[in-house]
Amino acid sequence: MRLALFDLDNTLLKGDSDFEWAQFLMEKGVLDREVFEARNNQFYEDYKSGTLDIREFLAFQLKPLSRHPRGQLDLWHAEFMETKVRPMMLESAFRLIERHREDLCAIVTATNSFVTRPIAAAFGIAHLLATEPEILGGEFTGNPSGIPCFREGKVTRLKHWLESRGQKLADFESSWFYSDSLNDLPLLQEVSHPVAVDPDPTLKNHAERMGWQIISLRKGFPL
């Protein structure tokens, strides 16, 4: 029995779905670009540098979901999938996932599940561990629910998910986690096969020191 875990943004995707969702809403005129763009850019830079305050970011990122009916959000997301997400889906990512088709696979991402669940489905991965937005009466409240799936939270969420299945990480003969980000070092250190995918400089340096595999899906790593 083997386990394969995949980060989403800048790993399976050649871009960041969280960032692009906010950009998409600004292009639609749903969000005020003058108000949101600078903060969206700053949060993205904080994420890349490893200094993101996840609670502050979620208050910013989830609030727009509470301002519109779920039906309208779903319509916007369908357009977002076609115009923004599908061009970011790497063919080499599909080949990597296919390599693990006989394994238990999950996407593990800090981006909220409203944005990412359709993306996981498009990649053919049934299991998604993501930050969960709170829902009351079928509508989003603008608040997160439970533990954000970020940094050490990814490890916690993975353990809870496996426990819900009557499993633990030690049950798997082999486990993989593919990620681009220094923010994923906590989970990368938990698996038997950590793989740095088009890594940021901090993760690349760490992977080289530790002798971890480094691959590039953007350059069409042969799979």
The 10s digit of each residue's pLDDT in 169-188 is 999 999 999 999 999 999 99
The 10s digit of each residue's pLDDT in 119-143 is 999 999 999 999 999 999 999 999 9
Residue 60 above 90 pLDDT? Answer: no
Domain housing 112: 2-215
- CB–CB of 140/114 below 8 Å? yes
Residue 161 structure tokens: 């998910």
Is 221 a domain residue? no
Per the structure, how many domains does the chain have?
1
Rounded to an integer, the average pLDDT of 24-48 is 89
Please give the share of the chain, as a percent, with pLDDT higher than 70. 99
Strands annotated E in 137-219: 139-145, 174-179, 193-197, 213-215
Is 95 a domain residue? yes
Check residues 164 and 38 and name the one with the higher pLDDT. 164
Is 222 a domain residue? no
Is 220 a domain residue? no
- What CATH code is carried by the domain that includes residue 50? 3.40.50.1000
Q: What 3-state class would DSSP assign to 5?
A: strand
Is 124 a domain residue? yes
Q: Clarify whether 184 is annotated catalytic.
A: no
Of the candidates 9, 18, 180, 200, the residue annotated as catalytic is 9
Determine the pLDDT at residue 222: 54
Is 223 a domain residue? no
Is 111 a domain residue? yes
Of the candidates 7, 16, 18, 180, the residue annotated as catalytic is 7
Angle, helix 17-27 to helix 70-80, in steps of 10 degrees: 110
Full-model pTM: 0.94
pLDDT bucket at 54, cuts 50 / 70 / 90: confident
The mean pLDDT value of the chain amounts to 94
Paired with 220 in beta bridges are none
Q: Clarify whether 171 is annotated catalytic.
A: no
Is 141 a domain residue? yes
